[in-house]
């Protein structure tokens, strides 16, 4: 097996959906990608996007790869963590303030962008795996719940449902939630509501 085939195999071990930019990071050339398509091991659903044969395109992973500093947040993160069944028609995503995406790319990817600075951007960023085992950048479950709870754009019934579901999670980190709440949302009522739910 040639080195380029080894690189492609490593890429396919890590991602079932990937961008050309990600392929370049694995030293996989456009020739090797085209060869993979010809051999039937890859498909190319759109320009610059590749999917391992037998898988559907993983939109969340493609977005995370395409916009390197973007973080899934609020309603999109609630759905990911199964804190909500309300699937938004656009992905809610947080960018560092000053980040400039190419014109039209956010709309084309159905992204509702918000921009934050310092710890309001960086606190709680984690890497998680999608159901197809692709990596994405997303806020922790605690940060996601706090952001949604304190957003005027999130419907009250979504907030209440998410709070109840959070308290049912065995992996919840209530101390982390309190720490983030004190730092980012000192006037938030979330912790008090969670205490009532827990009674």
Map out the domains of the chain as residue ranges: 3-57, 69-198
DSSP the chain: --HHHHHHHHHHHH-SEEEHHHHHHTT--HHHHHHHHHTTSEEEEETTEEEETTS---HHHHHHHHSTT-EE-HHHHHHHTTS-----SSEEEEEETT--PPTTHHHHTTEEEEEE-HHHHHTTEEEEE-TTS-EEEEE-HHHHHHHHHT-TTS-HHHHHHHHHHHHH-TT--HHHHHHHHHHH-TT--HHHHHHHHH-
Give the strand pairing for 125-129 and 135-139: antiparallel
Residues 6+ apart with CB under 8 A from 56: 132
Give the C-alpha distances (Å, rounded to integers) separating 164 from 78, 168, 181, 187: 12, 7, 17, 20
**Number of C-alpha atoms within 13 angstroms, CB side, residue 64?**
25
Q: What is the model's pTM?
A: 0.88
Contact 43, 37 (CB under 8 A): yes
Q: What is the mean pLDDT of the chain?
A: 92
Tell whether the model's pLDDT for residue 2 goes beyond 50: no
Q: How far apart are the first and last CA of the chain?
A: 61
Contact 61, 134 (CB under 8 A): yes
Give percent above pLDDT 90 in the chain. 82
Tell whether the model's pLDDT for residue 21 goes beyond 90: yes
Contact 60, 94 (CB under 8 A): no
Alpha-carbon gap, residue 41 to 104, rounded angstroms: 31
Instruction: Give the CATH number of domain 3-57; options: 3.30.410, 1.10.10, 3.40.190, 3.30.70.
Output: 1.10.10
The string of pLDDT tens digits covering residues 84-103 is 998 878 899 999 998 887 77
Tell whether the model's pLDDT for residue 157 goes beyond 50: yes
Sign of CA dihedral 87, 55, 81, 164: positive
What integer pLDDT is reported at residue 101 of this predicted model?
77
The string of pLDDT tens digits covering residues 57-83 is 999 999 999 988 899 999 999 999 999
What integer pLDDT is reported at residue 1 of this predicted model?
43
């Amino acid at each position: 097996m040639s080195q380029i085939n080894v690189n492609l195999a490593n890429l396919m071990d890590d991602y079932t959906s990937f961008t050309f930019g990600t392929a370049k990071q694995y030293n996989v050339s456009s020739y090797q990608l085209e060869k993979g398509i010809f051999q039937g091991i890859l498909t190319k659903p759109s320009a610059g996007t590749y999917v391992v044969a037998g898988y559907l395109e993983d939109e969340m992973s493609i977005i995370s790869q395409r916009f390197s500093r973007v973080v899934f947040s609020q309603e999109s993160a609630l759905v990911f963590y199964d804190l909500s069944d309300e699937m938004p028609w656009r992905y809610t995503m947080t960018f560092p303030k000053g980040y400039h995406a190419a014109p039209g790319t956010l709309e084309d990817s159905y992204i509702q962008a918000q921009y934050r600075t310092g710890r309001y951007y960086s606190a709680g960023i984690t890497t998680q795996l999608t159901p197809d085992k692709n990596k994405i950048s997303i806020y922790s479950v605690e940060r996601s719940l706090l952001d949604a709870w304190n957003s005027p754009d999130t419907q009250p019934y979504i907030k209440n449902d998410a709070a109840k579901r959070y308290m049912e999670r065995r992996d919840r980190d209530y101390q982390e939630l309190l720490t983030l709440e004190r730092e980012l949302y000192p006037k938030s009522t979330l912790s008090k509501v969670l205490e009532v739910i827990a009674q």
